[in-house]
Structure 1
Amino acid sequence: MFRKLESKKKKVNQIKGIDSVLSKPEIAEGAYSKCLNCDKIHDRIDLAKNLWVCDACGYHYRMHVVERIIATFDEFKVFNHIVKSKDPLAFPGYQEKLDSLSESLGVYDAVVCGEAKIGEHSIIAVVMDPNFMMGSMGSVVGEKVTRSFERAMKQKKPLIIFSASGGARMQEGLVSLMQMAKTSGAVGKFHEHGGLFINVLTDPTTGGVTASFAMLGDIILAEPGALIGFAGPRVIEQTMKKALPEGFQRAEFLLEKGFVDAIVERKNLKNTLSQILRIHEVK
C-alpha cells in the first residue's frame, strides 16, 4: 500500500501549477532506508518529514524535485513544462528511457522551471532533479535554463537555481555540450542587465553544469557534503597519479578554497534565501 504524507499533500495544493502537472512523491508503508553515511535505519516517511536529512549525522539525501519545491517555495507556477527532447542523434533506446522516466518521476526532463515566491519575494526558480538521468544537461535542460534567464530578465526578477547534475547528456553528443555555451551566454546577458542570480549546489553538481551556469552565480550556496566538481575524483586521481586531499570536491572543501560563499543546511535554506533577497531589496 502507498500513501501520501498528509502534511505534504496539503502544502502541494498551495503550490500553483505543481499539483496539476507533476506527480506527487509517494512512499511505501513500512519502507526503510539506511543512511549512506552513518548506517542508521530510517523509516522513509519520517525521513521525508525531516526533509530527507539524517537526524543522526546530518547526511543530506537527494530530493525529488517536487519535494524540493514544496520545502523551499510558498508559491510555484510551472512554465515551459512540456518541453521534450527530439532525440537528435536517434540514440538507441534513448527515447524509451525518456518515456519511462517521465512516467515514473512525473517530469519530462531533468529540470522544472517556475514563477515562484519565497515569502513576499517574487522570483524565477529552476530546480534540477538528479533522479532524471542523473540531472544530465541535454538540449531540453539547456533550453529551459536559458528561457528562465530570459524570463527573469524581462520581468526584472532574481533567479534561483537548485543545481544537481551528473554532467552532459551523452545520448545527445555535441548538442549536449553546446548547452554549456548557451547557458553561460544567458547568464552573461542577465548579469549585464543587473539581474541577481543565486545558485544552490546540491549533491551532485558535476560535469558541464559545473563548468557553465552552476558556478556563475552572484551568490553560490551549497548543501552540506554535496559533491561539486567537473571530472570525477577517480579520473583526476588516475590522471595526476597522486592521492587527492581528504574531502576533495565536497562542499566544505570548496568553501575553504573560496568557490562557495556559504554552506547551508536544508532546514535553513528557505530562510537564508529570503534574507538574501531582502538584503538586495528584491520583492
Structure 2
Amino acid sequence: MSSMSKLFSANTRERTFQLKAQRDAGIAAPVWQAPQFVTCKKCERRATRQVWARSLYVCPNCGNHQPIGGYYRLSLVLDHGTFQELDADLQARDVLNFPGYEDKLNAQKSKTGLNEAVVTAVGKIGGIAVVTAVLDSRFFMGSMSTAVGEKITRAIEYATAKHLPLIIFSASGGARMQEGIFSLMQMAKTTAALERFGEKGGLYISVLTHPTTGGVTASFASLGDIMLAEPGALIGFAGPRVIEQTIGEKLPAGFQRSEFQLEHGFVDQVVPRSEMRETLALLLRLHAQGRKHS
C-alpha cells in the first residue's frame, strides 16, 4: 500500500472513530435539534448534552461520574489518529436459543450502534502503543457474554503476541443470564489468557468504572498489575443491598465505592476522568523506562 493510501485509510478510520465517539456522547446530530437534557443520577442537576460533553460527563455540581460509551471513553485517552479497532465484527449470539434474547440483542444493537458490550482496540497513549478494551454499560449493562469474553481474550492475546501493555476499562453488571454457563465460562477463559500474558512480562492496568460487579469483578477486572478506579464507582461481586439482606446487617457508608476500596487496599489510586489520560501516560512511560533498564 502506498503512503498516500495509508494516509487516506488512517484519516477515514479516525473520522469514523470520532463520529462514533460523538454519537456515544450524544452530540452527533447531523442537523439542528431541540436541546436534549441529561440529569445527574446523584444530585439531579439538569443540563444539555453539550454542557455534559464539555465536562466529560462529570457533574459540575457534585462531581458524580456519569456512565459513558466505549468509543467516547477511548477518544478521551488515546492519541489522536492512533485508534485501530480489533474484532469489530464479532457479535453476540443466542447460544442457548433463550426466549426473546435474539430480539433484545437486535434492539440493543440498534439503540447503541454496537455489536456487543465491549470495544477493543490498539492505539497510543502519550506516544506509547497499547491494547485497550472498554466495556460499555449501555449494551445489556456491560454483561459478559461469550462474545464479550472472546473479544477480551483476543485483545489479551494480541497484547501478548505484540508485547504491548494492556488496559481494560470495566463497567458491568456481571454474567449475561441469557447465555447461562457459557457466560460463566468466560471468567476462566479471560483469567487464563491474563495468566499467559503475565508470564510474558506484560503490564496490565485495570480501570474500574461504575459499576463493576459480578463475574467481571471475579475475573479479569480484579487481576491488574495496577488497579485504578473512577471516583464513586461501585466495585464488588454482589451489590450492597444483596449483602445487607443476606447478612442482616447495615453496611458502612460508602461500602464498595472506589474510595472505600482504596482505603482497604483493593485499588491503588482513584483517578478523576479528567486526569485519566495523563495518569495512564505516566504509568506507561514508567513501565517503558523500567523495561529499558531491566
Give 1:40's match in structure 2, choosing from 45, 70, 84. 45
**Alpha-carbon distance between aligned partners in 2 of 1:136 and 1:34, rounded to the nearest angstrom:** 24
Q: Can you list the C-alpha shifts for 1:88-142, whole angstroms capped at 9, x where unaligned?
A: 1101111111111112211100001111111211000101100000000010010
Number of the residue aligned with 1:67: 72
Corresponding residue for 1:31? 36
Q: What's 2:217 paired with? A: 210
- Partner residue, 2:161: 154
Q: After superposition, give the CA deviation of every residue in 1:64-104 in whole Å (9 maximum; x if it has no partner).
A: 11211111111210010111233111011111111111122
What is the distance in 2 between the residues matched to 1:83 and 1:23?
Answer: 22
Give the TM-score normalised by the residue count of structure 1: 0.91
Amino acid at match of 2:14: I
CA contact (8 A) 1:17 1:77 kept: no
- Mapped partners of 1:183, 1:240: distance in 2: 31
Distance 1:13 1:241, change over 3 A: farther
CA distance 1:197–1:56, shift in 2 (3 Å): same
**Alpha-carbon distance between aligned partners in 2 of 1:70 and 1:29, rounded to the nearest angstrom:** 26
1:131 paired residue number = 138
CA distance in 2, matches of 1:186, 1:198: 15
Q: Is this contact kept in 2: 1:164–1:204, CA < 8 A?
A: yes
In percent, how many aligned pairs have the same letter? 49
Q: How is 1:103-252 mapped onto 2 (pairs within 5 angstroms)?
A: 103-252=110-259
Amino acid across the alignment from 1:128 = L
Per-residue deviation, 1:22: 7.9
Deviation at 1:18, TM superposition (A): 2.5
Structure 1 residue 258 corresponds to structure 2 residue 257: no
* 1:96 aligns to 2:95 (yes or no): no
SS, match of residue 160 in structure 1: strand
Task: Name the CA shift for 1:206/1:122 in 2 (closer, same or farther; >3 Å).
Answer: same
CA apart distance, 1:37:
2.0
Gaps of 5+ in 1: 1-11
Between structures 1 and 2, the one with greater helix share: 2
CA distance in 2, matches of 1:55, 1:223: 15
Residue type matched to 1:24 in 2? R
Alpha-carbon distance between aligned partners in 2 of 1:281 and 1:66, rounded to the nearest angstrom: 26
Counterpart residue number, 1:3: none
**Distance change (3 Å), C-alpha of 1:182 and 1:16:** farther
Residue type at the aligned position of 1:18: F
1:277 paired residue among 284, 287, 294: 284
* Kept after mapping to 1: 8 A contact 2:230/2:271: yes
Q: Which runs of 4+ in 1 moved over 4 A?
A: 19-23
RMSD: 1.9
Deviation, 1:45, is 1.0
Structure 2-normalised TM-score?
A: 0.88
**How many pairs align?**
272
Q: Give the secondary-structure state (helix, strand or coil) at the position aligned to 2:83.
A: strand
Q: Tell me, yes or no, if the aligned pair for 1:111 and 1:141 is still in contact at 8 Å.
A: yes
Please give the alpha-carbon distance, in whole angstroms, between the structure 1 residues aligned to 2:179 and 2:242: 22
Q: What SS does the aligned partner of 2:288 have? A: coil
